[in-house]
Structure formats: C-alpha cells, structure tokens
C-alpha cells in the first residue's frame, strides 16, 4: 500500500474480492400451474438464481414482491381471472429496478411481447421454446441492465 492511498487495500484482499462469486440474483416466480413453478425454480436454481418465493396468482405475487424485493420476476401472462398486464404494471411500480420477464405457453394472435413491455416488463418469452432458453433469456436481462 502506497502512502497516501485514499482506499488502502492489501493486494491479497483485492485478489480475493475479484475471485469471489457474484451474489445470487433473487427471483420471484408467478405462475398458476404448480408443476411449471416447480420446473422454473429447478432451472433457475441450477443456473445460480435464488428463488425467494413463488406464487400461483398475481395478487399473492404482488404481496411477495413487496415482502422480498426480488431482483427479478418471471410472470405467466395467461392466468384466468387475472389482469396480468395490470399486475405487471403494479410489479414495475413496486420494483422499479427489477428485471421482469413475462412468459406464456399460449400462442396468441395478439402481440404479447408488445403488450407485456408496454405494461412494464423488460421482455417476453414463449414457454414453448423450453425452460433452458427461458432462463438464458431471463439471465440476459441482468446483463443488459449492468
């Protein structure tokens, strides 16, 4: 350490900090199908994400978002009885810096991606492409934000 360094740090400490693993991104999963929540959790955790909670509907998801303040949310766009676009807007208001990915397995004649992004999502994913691709796209949202 040179005399007068404003932030004296031992060289070994700098090297250790550089090698330290990044903190896991905290994620909330919202999907009305329990098996899909389970599969998403497994794929996310395998890629190093920390799934802090999951919910079967957007109302419970909103409460969990307020409680856990996750870094990211994956939300299913097709949940009968719920206005998912409004839910995405509420999530964005609650989590202004979080990465939000809307996903659906339902083919639609409408522009789901455009609607989801207009509501506040950072991206849209067609679940038919598979969970590995979904998790890769979700992870890329964090890379774009940095």
Decide: helix, strand or coil at residue 49. coil
Task: Give me the residues paired with residue 26 across strands.
Answer: 50
DSSP state of 127: G
For 76-134, write each residue's pLDDT tens digit: 999 999 999 999 999 999 999 999 999 988 766 678 889 999 999 999 998 888 888 89
The CATH class that applies to domain 34-145 reads: alpha beta
CB atoms within 10 A of CB 133: 14
CB 55 within 8 A of CB 29: yes
Q: Summarize pLDDT for 22-67 with one digit per residue, the tens.
A: 468 999 999 999 999 999 999 999 999 999 999 999 999 999 999 9
Q: What global pTM score does this model have? A: 0.82
Question: Within a 13 Å sphere around the CA of 123, how many CA atoms are in the beta-carbon half?
Answer: 20
Domain boundaries, the chain: 34-145
Distance CA(67)–CA(61), nearest Å, equals 10
Say if residues 67 and 94 touch (Cβ distance below 8 Å).
Answer: no
């Amino acid at each position: 350490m040179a005399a007068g360094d404003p932030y004296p740090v031992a060289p070994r400490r700098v090297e250790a900090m550089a090698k330290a693993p990044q903190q896991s991104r905290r994620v909330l999963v919202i999907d009305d199908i329990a098996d899909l929540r389970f599969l998403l959790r497994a794929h996310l955790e395998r890629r190093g994400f920390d799934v802090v909670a999951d919910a079967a509907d957007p109302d419970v998801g909103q409460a969990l978002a307020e409680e856990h303040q996750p870094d990211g949310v994956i939300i299913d766009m097709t949940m009968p009885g719920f206005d998912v676009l409004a839910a995405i807007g509420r999530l964005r208001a609650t989590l202004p810096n979080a990465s939000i990915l809307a996903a659906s397995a339902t083919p639609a004649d409408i522009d789901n991606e455009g609607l989801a992004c207009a509501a506040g999502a950072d991206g849209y994913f067609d679940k038919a492409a598979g969970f590995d691709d979904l998790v890769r796209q979700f992870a890329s949202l964090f890379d774009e934000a940095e």
